[in-house]
Amino acid sequence: MAAVRLDEIVARLGGRLIGDAGRSIRQVATLERAGPDEISFLANPKYQEKLLATRAGAVILPESSASACPAACIVSDEPYLYFARVAQWLNPVNAPAAGIHPTASVESPIPDSVSIGAGVRIGPGARIGARSRIGPGCVIGSGVSLGDDSLLHANVTIYDGCHIGVRAIIHSGVVIGADGFGFAREQRGSWVKIPQIGSVVIGDDVEIGANTTIDRGALDDTVIEDGVKLDNQIQVGHNVRIGAHSALAGCVGIAGSARLGSRCTVGGGAVILGHLNIADDVNISAATLVTKSIPKAGTYSGAVPAQDHAAWLKNFAHLRHLDSMADRIRTLEAQLARLTGIQPTSSHNAEKES
């Protein structure tokens, strides 16, 4: 990518430029490492000291930090978003040449604009969108629909009958449409497999991280709506529905038939149990275990931060005796009420809230 001038960046992306409009920018970088031909950003004021020491050619920042910037700057209300768009501009994706590798096995008509890598297998009845890129070793089953301008990195597997919208980005090792975990138990303890006859339906502009798995529905479909972003190593169970523009961090697990609303965020390692309903605009913190439905927007946390092991053992020992401690407190409160005539409220209220 050739260098671009700051005034060219502002002309395309907006913002207010302060400083040398003709400065050339070749790449993005952090405040600490950026050089004179690189652009950085400041979105959090706690990094103000790094701004003062930066050698960057330009910095994207909010109005409140502009006067402290030692370099040229672009003032934006959303510096991080602006930075993302500059980074995309300076780092375009290199598209391989269209065509089908001689080792690929393709049993469906493919548009001339599509690139098919080595060892790819595409089953009969599949529909591959224009300008899509299929990396080496991918397996696309019969009847799969893949939208225009989609990118599958190496070794993605899409089972029969799944549907994926336009501009999808699917990273290596992803498996879409494997059987959901559906079994009925017999009295003697053995398990009878329930055929998973639903599909997976994925909307437009969805990105799926490496080694993430999305199970097909048991009867109805598993649905990932438009604009969803899934990190690496996420498990999405059968019949789950994830609302539009939600984002899930690595190692999240969602059990079958859970419903996430639109614009939700889920931190790394969180677990959502099956058949729960999560409202729109819910933020779930990392490592949180969600055991009940969440009916309204907000931030929800259930993780216990790490602490010294000896302190953890001591605190856990107290947790083991909470029931007996609660009984003793109720007894003391009753005795106090008899002596004073004042009825206790704290323990009763706590029980009602729980």
Question: Is residue 100 helix, strand or coil?
Answer: strand
Nearest C-alpha neighbor of 57 from the set 42, 72, 46, 75: 72
Amino acid identity, residue 35?
Answer: G
| 176 vs 211: CA distance, rounded Å | 10
The position carrying tokens 């009925």 is 184
Q: What is Dmax (Cα atoms) for the chain?
A: 92
Tokens (6 digits) for 313:
């053992």
| 272 vs 297: CA distance, rounded Å | 16
| 205 vs 153: CA distance, rounded Å | 16
Beta strands, E only, 63-146: 72-75, 99-100, 105-106, 115-116, 121-122, 127-128, 133-134, 139-140, 145-146
Residues constituting the chain: 354
Phi, psi of 224 (to 5 degrees): -115, 115
Which of the following is catalytic: 238, 245, 275, 318?
238
- Helix and strand numbers (H, E) in the chain are 6, 38
Phi, psi of 72 (to 5 degrees): -60, 150
171 is annotated as an active-site residue: no
Active-site residues, by number, are: 238
